Chain A
């Protein structure tokens, strides 16, 4: 049995505490939004989940580039772990956005540039995970994954900029809204505090999950090595 590193245990407990505080802030500290009502509270975690998705894919692209330069498998481990977390949190972002949209836009889904680019980004990284499964040789898989991660990262700024470049009904949190945007609101100081704290909490959650996931990837590699040794021996 591999013991959990002390740093990871401490990080996990800090993250759990931060998460509890973030929930408190969302439900009891942030005021009720005057028009949208309770569903607006989804916004805090919806944006934070999207932030984790983008951060995770950025880490993957950087790890991919470093892998190509150094050929050190630890960077590939980091990249694939980060993609998995990014895919989970981007899905949370898309689904929670859909739940918010139902009462505000009167539809679960619309072909808005933000929704489309976010979904395309999600599919790009789901494909990354699926395609990796199809490559047997670990070095080839890592090299292929690194190149894919760098090229695939183009979908991240495209998603971020989609509501700033194209005509959209999706609200913009940072920057000015499109006049056609529906569901916009002015953030009060209490809302802003809750929003910033949620971003911080989800960043901690990402780092904690990444550390756990990288350790799991290490075990998977060990299993692969043992199997290869037994087959060759």
Chain B
């Protein structure tokens, strides 16, 4: 490295690094959105069942 006259060619690793970072943040955002939608649906369904008078 002491005799190096130009930076090392590490662009591939940079792309991989940012793919990991942005990919994981994106996945987490999708997971939050999906869980939110499913939980909303569950609450709605349970409230409907709960509101029905017993037969």
CA–CA, A40 and B9, complex, Å? 11
Q: Which residue of A lies closest to B2 (CB)?
A: A35
CA–CA, A99 and B11, complex, Å? 11
Q: In the bound complex, do residue B24 and residue A223 qualify as a contact, i.e. CB atoms below 8 Å apart?
A: no
Contact of B10 among A36, A216, A227, A229 (CB under 8 A): A36
Q: In the bound complex, do residue A42 and residue B17 qualify as a contact, i.e. CB atoms below 8 Å apart?
A: yes
Q: In the bound complex, do residue A45 and residue B8 qualify as a contact, i.e. CB atoms below 8 Å apart?
A: no
Q: Which residues of B contact A45 (CB under 8 A)?
A: 18, 21
CB within 8 Å for A92 and B24 given contacts A99-B17, A223-B43: yes
Q: Which residue of B lies closest to A34 (CB)?
A: B7
Q: Restricting to B11-31, which residues have a CB under 8 Å from any CB of A?
A: 11, 13-14, 16-18, 20-21, 24-25, 28
Q: Is the interface of A mostly helix, strand, loop or mixed?
A: helix
Q: In the bound complex, do residue B24 and residue A39 qualify as a contact, i.e. CB atoms below 8 Å apart?
A: no
Q: In the bound complex, do residue B32 and residue A39 qualify as a contact, i.e. CB atoms below 8 Å apart?
A: no
Q: How many residues of A contact B (CB 8 A)?
A: 40
Q: How many residues of B contact A (CB 8 A)?
A: 28
Query: Chain A nearest CB: distance from B41 CB in Å?
Result: 10
Q: Restricting to A26-69, which residues have a CB under 8 Å from any CB of B?
A: 32-42, 45-46, 49
Query: Chain B nearest CB: distance from A46 CB in Å?
Result: 7
Query: Chain B nearest CB: distance from A32 CB in Å?
Result: 6
Q: Which residue of A lies closest to B32 (CB)?
A: A212
Contact of B39 among A41, A220, A227 (CB under 8 A): A220
Q: Which residues of B contact A1 (CB under 8 A)?
A: 40
Q: In the bound complex, do residue A96 and residue B14 qualify as a contact, i.e. CB atoms below 8 Å apart?
A: no
Query: Chain A nearest CB: distance from B35 CB in Å?
Result: 6
Q: Which residue of B lies closest to A222 (CB)?
A: B43
Q: In the bound complex, do residue B32 and residue A99 qualify as a contact, i.e. CB atoms below 8 Å apart?
A: no
Q: Restricting to A73-104, which residues have a CB under 8 Å from any CB of B?
A: 85, 88, 91-92, 95-96, 99-100, 102-103
Those 4 A-B pairs whose CB atoms lie nearest each other, nearest first: A39-B10, A37-B7, A42-B17, A219-B39
- Can you give 25 contacting A-B residue pairs, CB < 8 Å? A34-B7, A35-B1, A36-B7, A37-B7, A38-B13, A38-B14, A41-B17, A42-B17, A45-B21, A46-B17, A92-B21, A96-B20, A99-B13, A99-B16, A100-B17, A103-B8, A212-B36, A215-B36, A216-B39, A219-B40, A219-B43, A222-B43, A226-B46, A230-B49, A230-B50
List A residues at the B interface (Cβ < 8 Å): 1-2, 32-42, 45-46, 49, 85, 88, 91-92, 95-96, 99-100, 102-103, 205, 209, 212-213, 215-216, 219-220, 222-223, 226-227, 229-230
List B residues at the A interface (Cβ < 8 Å): 1, 4, 7-11, 13-14, 16-18, 20-21, 24-25, 28, 32, 35-36, 39-40, 42-43, 46-47, 49-50
